Amino acid sequence: MSIADVPAGLAAAADASLQWRPGAPFDLLQTIGTLPRGQGDPTFQPAPGGMWMAFTTPEGPASLRLTAAGAGTGLGPRPGTAVDEPAVGAQVVDVQAWGPGAADAAASVPRLLGRDDDWSAFDETAFHTTLPRLVTDARRRHRNLRLPASGRMIDALVPAVLEQKVTVIEARRGYRYLTYRYGTPAPGAGTFAPANLMVQPTPEQWLRIPSWEWHKAGVGPQRSATIMRALRSAVALERLAVLPATEAATKMQTIPGIGVWTAAEVVQRTHGCPDSISVGDYHLAAYVGAALTGRRTDDAGMLRLLAPWAGHRQRVVRMLGLSGFRKPVFGPRITIQDHRRH
């Protein structure tokens, strides 16, 4: 059946539900847009006006349906802020959850959707006027964005490790293969939830994947070994969700194979960190350099360029990404390697 055909009575029969009011302009899909690993992520599926997602909580797996309702003109800015254009966004997010972890999943939604993400210092006139025009224009158009904080360390860490030093296409292909093969169907999948909605493997399930299956997924031994090392400390890693983002990122990097890029990619999603930068990314430094100066740069150059906005560097990068700027493409592309043939 189509997701659009889910009857209203079924939502009323959810194992847990709530309505969350953002209290300010809010865009649901844009806010959670960094969480799925591409359009084919098995743990996310679109819903009319929102999104389905599935994940494991301390109480067990859950299917979560988020839909935006009550769209209208958002609240105006605080006095003294530089962002002064009206915005349209959801005034209510309807939440339904099913499965053993339903209550935990529903309770996590406000933080997941950026309840604790505060842009007020970024929008103050004194700070805002120091920003490049590309950034300020993008911020005026995207006042509804918040940085999400899932709090689920393993769910963010495994896909990030899979993306180390390979193309996004390779990494996401491997992630889909392993999730469909070793994850579990989401609660209600094929009845009220989408038939192909999956829960990512638990640490125990990841650890049971044999070496030849990693090979079939196109995941080289270095990345699979890093995942195995990390998952042997899964309980300790999940505890990092309650620490400040910088401390969590530092502790993650004590695990061999997890460096600054991976740690930043994780805390951007788990903590909604407004400052973490994916140093070591194949494209990011060149993009930031081209956007801010018209010239490509390296990681050191990117950090120098972003230094005046320390504390908000990830916000600046997100706004650059939403600005519409595209850097000129020069040189060869990365060759996609198929490790399954070796």
What does the pLDDT read at residue 88? 54
In a domain, 210, yes or no: no
Domain of 94, in residue numbers = 3-141
Predicted pLDDT at 83: 54
Q: Which two tokens stand for residue 336?
A: 């996609």
Q: Does 104 reside within a domain? A: yes
- Determine, yes or no, domain membership for 73: yes
Q: What per-residue confidence (pLDDT) applies to 9?
A: 64
Confidence of residue 210 (pLDDT cuts 50, 70, 90): very high
pLDDT of amino acid 5: 45
Average pLDDT over residues 38-42: 94
Q: Of 338 and 212, which is predicted with more confidence?
A: 212
Examine residue 335 and state whether it is found in any structural domain, yes or no. Answer: no
pLDDT in tens, 165-198: 999 999 999 999 999 999 999 999 999 999 999 9
Cα 162 off chain centre by: 15
- Average per-residue pLDDT for the chain: 90
- Cα-based torsion angle of the residue sequence 10, 14, 17, 22 in order, rounded to the nearest 10 degrees: -50
**In-domain check, residue 107:** yes
In b/e form, how buried is each residue of 147-180, taking b as 16+ CB within 10 angstroms?
bbbbbbbbbbbbbbbbbbebeeebbbbbbbbbbe
| 314 falls within a domain | no
**Does residue 77 carry a pLDDT above 70?**
no
Is residue 18 included in any domain, yes or no?
yes
- Does residue 189 sit within a domain? no
The number of folded domains in the chain is: 1
Q: For residue range 105-122, list pLDDT tens digits in order.
A: 999 999 999 999 999 999
Tell me what pLDDT residue 235 has. 97
> What 8-state DSSP symbol labels residue 328?
P
